[in-house]
Structure 1
Amino acid sequence: MKKILFLCMSFPPMMTEGASRAFKFASCLPSLGWEPVVIGLHSVSGPEIEQVPFEIYYAGKEYSTREVDAGKLFRIVHGLSEKKFSVRGFSGSNGLGSVEKNWLKKAKSLARKALDENPDIEMIYAQAPSFAPNRLEKTIMHSGHCVTMPSRELKELFLRKYQGEIFHDDISIVKNGYDPEALQLCGAEEEQGGLMRWVFHVDRVDRGNDLKRFFSALSSLVSAQPAVRGVFSFAFTGSGSRDVRRYAKKYGLEDLIEADAVWSYRHELELWMGADIICLVLGSAEGNGVFIPERLFDTPGMQASIAGIVPDGLSKQCILDVGGRTVPIDQSEAIAGFLQESFTLWRSRQLPVVREAATESYHIRSTMQDFIREVAVRLPVA
């Protein structure tokens, strides 16, 4: 079997952007005649951790669920600082943070080792960070290697940004998709009659504005209809959910939150599959208009009701395309009305679910066809 080397700082157990996409590629490749060899970041061990059927070298730290609490694990796997409420990320527009620098140094050594031990590696999948510093981004775009992006809109964005420097054939599109086998393994929690389960996936939010507006709207709905306290069940996922408990307590909603910090894909998927409604809460900052959280692409395989409290842009369009509903993130009163409408639709059993066409379009087999086609184009003819 041919082998492919994955150089992925974002790879499970990490839950940073790019991890889900890379894991799905690696998991599906063996059935197509390719064996993945992965160099990831941190490892997490424990009885709750599922084993993967391929080799992974870790270039970061080792953690154990027996020794690290859920809150710290949450910050680790989401790439946040171990100091509460602080984002680690990149240090500047032209430089990498210490975690990224350390990973690159060790990953380089591990890559040489992997190539020496696996002379049948024919292809390298190198993952760029979601927020690459300008210098690194330029290096990647001018490298001459195949660059793949998950959407036509992103491709067009980079073609405009590097107009005259890179061209149409320099960027390929390999869209994201859901893996039905992974969803079947998770399964949904047992339905509790009379309980409306909401899952809010919170990403790239500003604590001072976006979360304040969101919780203000949520609080006004609960205050206007006190009876919903016995009906609503809230769970929060995504890196932005690190501040949720603090805001929920401030607005008197803490008793409605059912799930603690979510630090594994398995737990996250289980919550999503058991939800009556899945709602993306995406911040209003500039740049979020071209961002779609990877987890959103799992929803077409769940037959769930999808909603979004989002700015104009790709996430909004994606949600509408699959049959969901949206409301602007910067309008508190509109958010409150939207939440009320969602409750009314649920109570009358009229919440819309994902369109059948989207279920077929976002299936992982379609994604893997695109991926393998790109691999075939790049490999020399034997």
Structure 2
Amino acid sequence: MKKVLVVTYYWPPAGGPGVQRVLKFCKYFSAFGWEPIVLTVQNGEYPSIDSTLLSESKMLKVYKSNTIEPFTLYKKIFNKKSVSTFALDHSSKGKMEGMAQWIRINCFIPDARKGWIPFAVRLGKKIMAREKCDLLFSSGPPHSLHFIAKKLKEKFNVPWVADFRDPWTDLFHLDGHKRLKTAQNLDKKKEESILSSADIITTVSSSLYDLFKQKREELRVEIITNGYDEDDYTDVSKTNGIHNKILISYIGGMAKSQIPYSFFKALKSITSRGFDAILRFSGNVHQDVSTEINNLSLQKQIEYEGYVNHKTAIRNMVNSDFLLLVIPNTSNNRGIITGKIFEYLRSKTTIICIGPADCDAAKIIHDTRSGFIFDYDDSNGISELIMSPKPVTSVDFHKYSRKSLADQLCSIFSELTP
């Protein structure tokens, strides 16, 4: 069996969407002739913790290296328990926190996880010599970790697949922030060095495929979407009428750019017409979400669960009447799919998607007949759907199973190592 060294920052006990893609790939690699050897960080700064995922990684060979984390200092200064994945959202902040944010985007290029690079490279060289890995696979963000794989490729002359779950210099979180021109240029130079060095780039959507091809026309880019793991749905069954109300669930973090103003208006409208509906948040949300809810006096129609583990999130998806999906209302947003959409599909619960009609997520929902897409200001359309639900058939989603996607990726690995 051939071996692949997998370089990833997010690994159990890390929770959230960042860990799922690589963890599930590694779970199924061996079924297609590849043994994963994982290189990750010791005591990383994760926005959320999900210890239930540890059971999925316990049979894998995992190496962990030290790191220097500026986020540790950041948390102490601002008395934070964790660092939000949407910490760069526009919101009112004090001068000190605003300065810390400015430093983050102008001084830590490409990102604040770069302190891991020297430690990981040192350990990675030992792993490569000991394990005789045939190929490198790095998955970002954080995109700084691609430099670990780049240095190991240069040292050991093995093929390298660089995986991009999100854009790099075009990341929507950076829109509108005061970033120095020198920082922008340096970041673009670093991105170019990775794109020109990797043998193959993999990414999660057709829009991101187009984005990377525009940067380098000769670039070999392959689309390997995110997906769902059928095993996650074992022993999860739908319990009808669990709330005796219309239950709409939003799973995962909500950034400021995702605040569903039209949905809140729709919820206000249907409530005034006598419909008993609840919106449940299973995840951390931006502070302005509660402000908007208070402005519309919707407190009684909202439930906040906070962050929940992955198994609970799946159960919540299955036992809802609708699932809310919001594509960030920013530029460069058409390629944003979110990892949760595929688990939404498998849950077979009607999806209410708010976003551009031509975005990649809308196409997936349309092709699988799993829900409905609404523009950012279409509160009337959302109201009508909730009051008069339309059935969905949820077809052709099996191609998004994690096992099938791991098979696709392993085919690329085998092509590079004949």
- TM interval, shorter chain, is 0.7 to 0.9
Tell me if structure 1 keeps the 8 A contact 2:325–2:353: yes
SS at match of 2:168: coil
Question: CA offsets per residue over residues 169-221 of structure 1, 9 Å max, x none?
Answer: x11222332210122266556751632221125777545x9544543443333
Question: CA offsets per residue over residues 294-326 of structure 1, 9 Å max, x none?
Answer: 111222322221220112421222222221201
Q: Which runs of 5+ in 2 are unaligned?
A: 70-78, 142-165, 170-187
Question: CA offsets per residue over residues 249-305 of structure 1, 9 Å max, x none?
Answer: 333223333342115333322222222211211222101112110111222322221
Tell me if structure 1 keeps the 8 A contact 2:350–2:392: yes
Cα 1:238–1:320 shift into 2, 3 Å: farther
In structure 2, the residue matched to 1:221 is 270
In structure 1, the residue matched to 2:332 is 287
Cα 1:321–1:304 shift into 2, 3 Å: same
Q: How does 1:209-358 map to 2 (within 5 A)?
A: 210-222=259-271, 224-225=272-273, 227-228=274-275, 231-237=276-282, 240=285, 243-312=288-357, 313-323=359-369, 324-329=371-376, 331=377, 334-335=378-379, 337-346=380-389, 350-355=390-395, 357=396
Tell me if structure 1 keeps the 8 A contact 2:5–2:133: yes
Query: 1:121 aligned to 2:133?
Result: yes
Shift of 1:328: 0.5
Q: Distance in 1 between matches of 2:30 and 2:84?
A: 26
Q: Distance in 2 between matches of 1:188 and 1:32?
A: 33
Shift of 1:376: 0.4
Cα 1:281–1:157 shift into 2, 3 Å: same
Query: 1:172 aligned to 2:222?
Result: yes
In structure 2, the residue matched to 1:367 is 405
In structure 2, the residue matched to 1:68 is none
Q: Distance in 2 between matches of 1:318 and 1:39?
A: 33
Shift of 1:377: 0.4
Per mean C-alpha deviation after superposition, the further-off stretch among 26-35 and 296-305 is 26-35
Tell me if structure 2 keeps the 8 A contact 1:199–1:234: yes
Tell me if structure 1 keeps the 8 A contact 2:12–2:54: no
In structure 1, the residue matched to 2:32 is 32
* Backbone CA RMSD of aligned residues: 3.7
SS at match of 1:374: helix
Query: Given the alignment, which residue of 231, 245, 256 partners 1:195?
Result: 245
Q: How does 1:5-24 map to 2 (within 5 A)?
A: 5-15=5-15, 18-24=18-24
SS at match of 2:22: helix
Tell me if structure 2 keeps the 8 A contact 1:205–1:211: no
In structure 2, the residue matched to 1:154 is 208
TM-score, with length taken from structure 2: 0.71
Cα 1:219–1:135 shift into 2, 3 Å: farther
Shift of 1:153: 3.6
Question: CA offsets per residue over residues 348-376 of structure 1, 9 Å max, x none?
Answer: xx432422x2x223223331221111010
Shift of 1:26: 1.1
Tell me if structure 1 keeps the 8 A contact 2:352–2:372: yes
Number of residue pairs matched? 352
Query: 1:377 aligned to 2:415?
Result: yes
Q: Distance in 2 between matches of 1:259 and 1:186?
A: 22
Q: Which runs of 5+ in 1 are unaligned?
A: 63-70
1:95 is matched by which residue type in structure 2? I
Query: Given the alignment, which residue of 75, 91, 104 partners 2:105?
Result: 91
SS at match of 2:305: coil
Query: Given the alignment, which residue of 182, 186, 190 partners 1:136?
Result: 190
1:200 is matched by which residue type in structure 2? Y
Query: Given the alignment, which residue of 109, 116, 121 partners 1:108?
Result: 121
1:20 is matched by which residue type in structure 2? Q
Shift of 1:55: 3.6
SS at match of 1:147: strand
Question: CA offsets per residue over residues 59-103 of structure 1, 9 Å max, x none?
Answer: 5699xxxxxxxx966x5474648x9988969614992333x2223
Shift of 1:16: 5.9
Tell me if structure 2 keeps the 8 A contact 1:59–1:110: no
Shift of 1:242: 5.6
Shift of 1:7: 1.1
Q: Distance in 2 between matches of 1:45 and 1:265?
A: 10
Q: Distance in 1 between matches of 2:54 and 2:237?
A: 15
Q: Distance in 1 between matches of 2:284 and 2:5?
A: 28
Q: Distance in 2 between matches of 1:339 and 1:61?
A: 46
Q: Distance in 2 between matches of 1:239 and 1:60?
A: 26
Tell me if structure 2 keeps the 8 A contact 1:242–1:261: no
Q: Distance in 1 between matches of 2:49 and 2:398?
A: 35
Shift of 1:35: 2.9
Q: Distance in 2 between matches of 1:94 and 1:155?
A: 26
Question: CA offsets per residue over residues 316-354 of structure 1, 9 Å max, x none?
Answer: 22222221201101x1xx22x2332222234xxx43242
1:161 is matched by which residue type in structure 2? K
Tell me if structure 1 keeps the 8 A contact 2:251–2:281: yes
Shift of 1:246: 3.9
Shift of 1:144: 4.1
2:339 is matched by which residue type in structure 1? E
Q: Distance in 1 between matches of 2:87 and 2:372?
A: 30
